[in-house]
Amino acid sequence: MNLENGNNQNSELESLKSVYKICIETRNFEINQLIQRNNFFMLFQGVLLAAALQNQASKPYVELIVCLAGVFISIYQLQMASGAKYWQEWWESRVDHYEGKLRELKQSESGHFFELFATSTEDVYKEISGRFNKSRRISLTNILILRSFAVGRAPIKVSLVLLIAWLLLLAHTLNFSALPDTSIYIKGFSFKAQQK
> What contacts 83, CB < 8 A, 6 or more positions away?
none
Per-residue pLDDT averaged across 2-24, rounded?
78
Q: What is the pLDDT of residue 191?
A: 52
Cα–Cα dist 88/34, whole Å: 9
Top pLDDT among 63 and 192 is at: 63
Within 8 A by CB and 6+ apart from 68, the residues are: 170
CA distance 147 to 27: 23
Q: What's the CA gap between 156 and 159, in Å, rounded?
A: 5
Predicted confidence at residue 193, as pLDDT, reads: 47
Predicted local confidence at residue 56, as pLDDT: 65
Contact between residue 82 and residue 157 where contact means Cβ atoms under 8 Å apart: no
| Full-model pTM | 0.69
Output the DSSP codes for 57-76: TSSHHHHHHHHHHHHHHHHH
Best mean pLDDT range from 72-86, 97-111, 141-155: 72-86
Q: What is the mean pLDDT of residues 122-128?
A: 84
- Interval 22-48: pLDDT, tens: 989 998 998 888 888 888 889 988 998
pLDDT tops 50 at residue 90: yes
Judged against a pLDDT cut of 60, whether residue 145 lies above it is answered with: yes
Give the residue, 185 or 164, on which the prediction is more confident: 164
DSSP 136-179: T---HHHHHHHT---GGGHHHHHHHHHHHHHHHHHHHHS-GGGS
pLDDT band at 77; cut points 50, 70, 90:
very high
Rounded CA separation 189/16 (Å): 75
